[in-house]
Chains A and B, each alone.
Chain A
């Protein structure tokens, strides 16, 4: 990593040039960014950046690229509001501002030696992709590696080519399900929690990373616990209204923790109580 690119002041916005834009789904796109003036950008899987669209605002977006390749900064973004809409309207060659990387990462290296279950729903696959890259790069350090992914429909599956590629490996189990499908889809149909049963991991020696909409995580965690995985072995990535990114402004406070600083990745037993509070 280029030491020159380490951010001295976390509030400093650095300009990055959009090198490539790829449409993933009707409302989801992936941007490849490079720092203006060169350099690289190191991060850990699960971390996020604040992306600033000049004149429109700043949004927290998880990094979806490969942590082993710091030459490109990759973000996968859904158009859901004014800032993401403005970012989505930019073209290749234009610039965005970046602050980061922020947050607590997926503990990939810390769980070497375990079976690894990755449970993702919808766009939740994007924040998990760096962890998948890292786990597969160190595949021999894990027991079984299982990726369980749920999507609304076949046309809304994120990163389908990579899912196929990962499934083509002889050392990784990839199971994909959709909520509903029209003729032509020969895969699984049903809720993602159904995939947990029969996934073939050893629950006593398994760590699970879970990311997706909160309601999906709630049911996903329940299915993982029902399968015998202890809640100390389950990690979740939360999302709240991150603003400063460094635990000062309080916008993303979730009970005692700040999601931007203490998360976004939490060990589930540490936040299980907060999960139950409806107003949080």
Chain B
């Protein structure tokens, strides 16, 4: 079992916690757990309740889309220092993709119910968490738009 002070140290090392007030880190740690996923294991599946989010410490997580009769399609990978999952912030709080460990993954997970309750009662914490999630969401949206462009489409020159 990982001690709370160790979780605090792990959180401090993650880019998500950069610039976060130590007192707020302690509050967040109360909702955190250290998790490990073997390669091939699913962190969550599409349609499931989004009760957590993850700060990836090491390893690679594949974000996949499934369609009947087709192989899974990986649309993004998230690795060391990445943030996985924001469906816990948006109703109806269901995962919209599968997330599968592509390699051995170590991550801090946060209990969404626990953290949301603390964010509701402490607007400073709420603001700080949202301030860190909005860029993640914006980058994902930007990346999705770029992928729609087909960036590497045929060029005239060899």
Interface residues of A (CB under 8 A from B): 27-28, 48, 59-62, 64, 75-78, 80-81, 84, 121-124, 126-127, 150-152, 156, 179-183, 185-194, 198, 212-213, 215-216, 219, 239, 241, 264
B74 within 8 A of A: yes
Task: Determine whether the beta carbon of B81 is less than 8 Å from that of A121.
Answer: no
How distant is the Cα of A191 from the Cα of B148 in the complex, in angstroms?
A: 11
Say whether A151 contacts B72, CB under 8 Å: no
- CB <8 Å contact, A188 and B158: no
Docked Cα-Cα span, A76 to B158, in Å, equals 5
Q: Is the CB of B156 within 8 A of A191?
A: no
- What's the least CB distance linking B48 to chain A, in Å? 20
The closest CB in chain B to the CB of A220 belongs to B151
> How far does the alpha carbon of A156 sit from the alpha carbon of B151 in the complex, in Å?
13
How far apart sit A127 and B156, CA to CA, in the bound complex (Å)? 12
* Chain B 33-61 per-residue mask, 1 if CB under 8 angstroms from chain A, else 0: 00000000000000000000000000010
Would you mind naming 16 contact pairs between A and B with Cβ atoms under 8 Å apart?
Answer: A80-B156, A121-B151, A122-B155, A123-B154, A126-B158, A127-B158, A151-B152, A179-B147, A179-B150, A180-B73, A185-B74, A188-B60, A189-B63, A189-B75, A189-B76, A212-B155
- Between A and B, how many residue pairs show CB distances below 8 Å? 104
- With A180-B75, A213-B152 already in contact, the answer to whether A186 and B102 are too (CB < 8 A) is yes
A75-B158 in contact given A180-B74, A186-B103 (Cβ < 8 Å): yes
The answer to whether B128 has its CB under 8 Å from any CB of chain A is no
Considering residues A28, A186, A212, which has the most beta carbons from chain B within 10 angstroms of its beta carbon? A186
**B77 touching A188, Cβ below 8 Å:** yes
Within 8 A of A (CB), among B122-158: 143, 146-147, 149-158
- The CB with the most chain B CB atoms within 10 A, among A27, A75, A84, A183, is that of A183
Q: Is the Cβ of B154 less than 8 Å from the Cβ of A121?
A: no
The 4 A-B residue pairs whose C-beta atoms are closest, nearest first, are: A122-B152, A77-B158, A216-B151, A61-B158
- Structural contact, B157 and A62, CB atoms closer than 8 A: yes
Nearest neighbor of B63 in chain A, beta-carbon distance = A189
How far is A122 from B152 in the complex, measured between Cα atoms in Å? 5
Enumerate chain B residues within 8 angstroms of A198, measured Cβ to Cβ: 81
User: Quick check: A123 and B158 within 8 Å, CB to CB?
Assistant: yes
Most buried by A among B73, B103, B153, B156: B156
Query: Does more than half of chain B's interface fall in helix, strand or loop, or is it mixed?
Result: loop
Measured CB to CB, the closest approach of chain B to A122, in angstroms, equals 3
Bound-state CA distance A187–B62 (Å) is: 10
Does B3 touch A at the CB level, under 8 Å? no
Nearest-CB residue, chain A, relative to B39: A186
Report chain B residues within 8 Å CB of A186. Answer: 60, 102-103
Hey, which chain A residues are within 8 Å of B149, CB to CB?
Answer: 215
Is B151's CB under 8 angstroms from A213's CB? yes
B140 to chain A, nearest CB (A): 9
Residues of B within 8 A of A213 (CB): 151-153, 155
* B71 interfacial by beta-carbon distance below 8 Å: yes
Please determine whether A123 and B155 come into contact, CB atoms closer than 8 angstroms.
yes
Residues of chain A with a CB closer than 8 A to B62's CB: 189
Shortest C-beta distance, B101 to chain A (Å), equals 11
Name, among B62, B79, B146, B147, the residue most crowded by chain A CB atoms within 10 Å (CB to CB): B146
Q: Write the chain A residue with the least CB distance to B146.
A: A191
In angstroms, Cα B71 to Cα A127, docked, is: 34
Question: Bound state CA distance, A81 and B158, in angstroms?
Answer: 12
New contact pairs (13) apart from A48-B157, A126-B158, A150-B151, CB-CB < 8 Å: A27-B154, A59-B156, A77-B158, A122-B151, A124-B155, A127-B157, A180-B147, A183-B71, A188-B79, A189-B74, A193-B143, A212-B155, A219-B146
- Please, which residues of chain B bring their CB within 8 A of the CB of A156? 152
